[in-house]
Amino acid sequence: MSEVNINKRNKCENCTKQCNKKQDDDGGDTISEEKEVHGQSKDGSQLLLSACLSCEGCLSEEDSMKLSQQNLEELEQVLALNKRCDVSKHKVLVASVCPQSLPFFAVKFGVDVTEAAHKLCSFLKGLGVKYVFDTMLAAGFSILESQKEFCQRYRRRHHDSNALPMFTSSCPGWIRYSERILGSLVTPHICTARSPQQIMGRLVKDFFSKQQKMSPETIYHIVIAPCFDKKLEAVREEFYNSLLETRDVDCVLTSGEIYHLMEQRKVSAAELDSTPLDQVLGDAGDSVLVRHDGRGSEGFLEHVFKHAAKEIFGLDVHEISYKTIRNRDFQEVTLERDGETLLQFAAVYGFRNIQTLVHRMRKGRVPYQLVEVLSCPGGCLSGRGQAESEAAGRVDKALVQQMEEAYNSLPVRLPEVNPILHTLYQDWLQGQDSPQANRLLHTEYRNQSQTQPPHMQW
């Protein structure tokens, strides 16, 4: 999804009419780009799914107002307020950086990922941010909860038609499409584990705030992410505490926006100190930067696949082989034993491939038990908040390749063997299967779909 258009605030009555008008107003560039992306002709009466999802014309005024606060100007206001004398209005700034954002800064700074994280931390603390974390712990929670939910769904597949396939839930572009367009066809199949971003929000506003003896509403929590869609996720109503009037994540800024702020302030990477990231558990935390197994988007497919192979079938899987089906963004993974297919998973990235997946699902021809779904072709490292080139708004393929190499240079740690996660399960959540764990680590997805626009192209 391209950057949110916060100026268009009226909820549209007729999506097709509004989108066609928007395309006419924007000129022919958008149309020609969509032709190239989808590889097929398009006239003014057709509405492409990708155009629909990037429009934002259907946002209510309230939604638009919330999104208008997800920008650098809002951050500057909070920083300015902290410099004034009224201590009662001061906020403690906490920043959480997604692992997929760190390779962007590594490439831009010309250093390795760990050093890039330290320099970014130095810059943020120079602005007035008090604590800077990465979101690996939160991603670990999301992976473990997804693994557990898949096994539960698999075991009830014969008496629950909505159990399988299970779709991953970490991509807000995919979630928005599912809720608003697909509705009940897909929403019951979406994994209920919260995304790493929103679990990090709970860690900061619940566990960390109590640890520091702070009230959650006194914390201003910023997440640095690779894509603009994460802003939409942060303002979902279920992630707002009406009693304390605070959100789990107050502001999402893309990697590109933070880098632009550095340029505005004329800060170069060379002049920044090397400041290690903070740890949620303080000195007891692990300061070593790691990544999760799999491709550059947390590797939900690989983690769940290996866990399910062991948990359900007693098979140890060490290496996973991907089979390309349509293109590098539509791939399958299969577990076989004695010629029998036990598991069949798929990774489906980009809306062109998602449309193919949905078309098959409508016809009942989806053989997969799990699908890792991401709206960005190439996955999270290719998020438009960091991978878009300045020329023509296209993805910078050379930059993405460099980011992939930087990301893959990090050592792998499985969340199952991370002692900090086990400590937090006990000290924060009162156990892995507790009501507290279910309440703080899971959410629900709703059918918000209305009548599909008559010219929606599948």
The string of DSSP codes covering 356-423 is HHHHHHHTT----SEEEEESSTT-GGG-TTTSB-SSTT-B-HHHHHHHHHHHHTSPB--GGG-HHHHH
Query: Which amino acid does the sequence have at 80?
Result: A
CB 201 within 8 A of CB 139: no
CB 241 within 8 A of CB 216: yes
Q: Which fold has domain 141-194+292-384+412-416?
A: Fe-only Hydrogenase (Larger Subunit); Chain L, domain 3 (3.40.950)
Q: The tokens 């502001």 sit on which residue?
A: 251
CB 191 within 8 A of CB 163: no
Write the CA distances from 139 to 144, 297, 409, integer angstroms. Answer: 9, 10, 19
CB 348 within 8 A of CB 354: yes
pLDDT of residue 19: 46
pLDDT of residue 6: 38
Other CB atoms within a 10 A radius of the CB of residue 429 amount to 21
User: 97 - beta bridge partners?
Assistant: 134, 224
CB-based burial, 395-411: b 16+ in 10 Å, e otherwise: bbeebbebbbebbeebe
Which residues are within 8 A (CB) of 281 and not within 5 positions of it... i.e. 6 or more apart? Answer: 420, 423, 424
* Rounded Cα gap, residues 78 and 261, in angstroms: 15
Domain positions in the chain: 1-65, 66-138+195-289+420-429, 141-194+292-384+412-416
**In CATH, what number does 66-138+195-289+420-429 get?**
3.40.50.1780
Nearest to residue 455, comparing CAs of 166, 52, 67? Answer: 52
pLDDT of residue 449: 62
Q: The tokens 């995919």 sit on which residue?
A: 174
User: DSSP states of 295-340 as a string?
Assistant: SSSTTHHHHHHHHHHHHHH---------EEEEETTEEEEEEEETTE
User: 372 - beta bridge partners?
Assistant: 347
Whether the domain at 66-138+195-289+420-429 and the domain at 141-194+292-384+412-416 fall into the same CATH topology: no
CB 388 within 8 A of CB 256: yes
* Rounded Cα gap, residues 160 and 174, in angstroms: 23
What are the residue ranges in the chain where pLDDT is below 70?
1-69, 85, 283-287, 391-393, 449-458
Each residue of 222-239: pLDDT tens digit? 999 998 889 988 988 888
* Rounded Cα gap, residues 437 and 80, in angstroms: 37
* Rounded Cα gap, residues 452 and 458, in angstroms: 11
> Which tokens belong to 274?
């090397």
pLDDT of residue 393: 67
* Rounded Cα gap, residues 6 and 3, in angstroms: 9
User: 47 - beta bridge partners?
Assistant: 456
Other CB atoms within a 10 A radius of the CB of residue 45 amount to 9
CB 277 within 8 A of CB 132: yes
What is the pTM (predicted TM-score) of this model? 0.85
Residues shown for the chain: 458
CB 225 within 8 A of CB 101: yes
Each residue of 353-410: pLDDT tens digit? 998 999 898 888 889 999 999 988 888 988 888 988 776 568 888 999 999 999 999 9
